[in-house]
Amino acid sequence: MSENESSANPQPETSEPRAVESETSAPPAPFVPPAPIVQPAPPVATPAPAAFSAVPPVPQAPAAASATPPAPRQRSVAVPVIAAAVVAALLGGGAGAGVAAWAITSQTSQQTASPASPQTITVNNPSSVDAVTAVAAKAAPSVVTISVTAGSSGGTGSGVILSEDGYVLTNTHVVTLDGESADGTIEVTTADGRIYSATVVGTDPIVDLAVIKLDDASGLTPIEWGDSDALDVGDQVIAIGAPLGLSNTVTDGIVSALDRSIQIASSAVPDSGDTDQTPDQQQNGGQGPFDFWNFDQNGGSSSSNSASSTISLPVIQTDAAINPGNSGGALLDDEGKLVGINVAIASTGSSSGSSQSGSIGVGFSIPASLAKRVSEEIIADGTASHGLLGASVSTATSEDSDVVGALIQEVTSGGAAASAGIKAGDVVTEFNGHPITSSTDLTAQVRALAAGSSAELVYQRDGKATTVTVKLGELDS
């Protein structure tokens, strides 16, 4: 491959005609007489004089050169080309072809539009790349670094481009400095080095998502949505973001667990709604609810330390390295499609505001199915809705049930649970197709649905399982 690349420079233009000459001069035994060499020339030179009438010998060189120029036209490009055959072999079939096509198209457009733009993903050996490199080359232009300042406080996070004109999805705790400010100054840097100011379109603290809009942006590369509901445990995933402010950082791993839910300490949660009577102190290595550890704060202490409330999130668990600053960044499948928004990590250290823990291989991402719904509602209306079951719940214990689940402690009159015939003492074991093993699971799955959604719920009463359909109410925001 390296020989072909080096021969794609000007030398092939002279070496190729020589090869042709040696072939035509080979039949005549004597090399000295010029007549045999000139005789083959007339057929080639006859059409040439019409265009270049004064120079019969020269047409051979231009003819050969005209066949060669397409090869050397691919050098300075922000994302180096990845050979289509190599990527297709790595990612398989249509997926590989799609990524390869993107790389080739990207190279052509970036050559003509911004040949001097900085490199995003460095590929030194395009003939031997792996799937992670291919995914990174495809998706990195759709991931941005977000810097937020408010007074003496500041921090960096990540975001994902949703539209060519600059809608970007990230976490609420990124744009609010973990709840410290509602009107911070936001600056966004794209993967190719462009800097934009931005404003908040809307935040959704219930699931820690937010949408911002870049000022006067155009021609950006939107992320391609994937199907988080189609993931399997063991699937390869790739994280892209700005851990510790290091933009365009790529890490990879697998889906470690699905149907996982976590509680996260938050200072921006509505007071009304379903009540989870069991803050899960067994989470995060026995330290209780998770913090937004993966937001890289440059000043001040994390407001989550003083937060008195929690939110419950359905998440994808991954061992791809996620660190402070990855908040709001992309979790991608092996086709370069968005399957999650990185939100939190487990830590083994203290939750004091004076220190931050790095990745221990247990990271969490908000599923793309939830992120897509919420982002579309925020862009359309400025807010997003969430379901309300109308019940107080706790995690079932051996004193309450012989199966794991969420114990209904109290039902709100006229609410969704009451209307479906659910009573105090019932243990919910499944909701909307997801297994329920705790109160956190149930709260997270209910919140993941929009207000007014209908879902099947399975509960146990007196040792008997019953399936009902509930139409959720709306959580006040």
Catalytic residues: 173, 208, 327
Q: Is 338 strand, coil or helix?
A: strand
Q: Which residue has 């009451």 as its token pair?
A: 418
Number of other CB atoms surrounding residue 197 within 10 Å: 12
In contact, 98 and 87? CB cutoff 8 Å: no
Whole-number Å distance between alpha carbons of 354 and 138: 37
Which residues lie below 8 Å from residue 329, measured CB to CB, with a gap of 6+? 143, 157, 158, 159, 160, 239, 240, 241, 242, 341, 342
Amino acid residing at 430: E
The DSSP output letter for 319 is -
Instruction: Give the DSSP letter of residue 225.
Output: B
| Residue 474, number of CB atoms within 10 A of its CB | 14
Q: Please give the Cα distance from 178 to 203 (Å, whole number).
A: 12
For residue 299, the cross-strand partners are 154
The span from the CA of 273 to the CA of 276, in Å, is 10
Taking CA atoms, 75 is separated from 5, 17, 119, 163, in Å, by 10, 24, 13, 29
The rounded distance, in Å, linking the Cα atoms of 90 and 85 is 9
**CA–CA distances in Å: residue 127 to residues 75, 83, 84, 133, 135:** 15, 6, 10, 11, 15
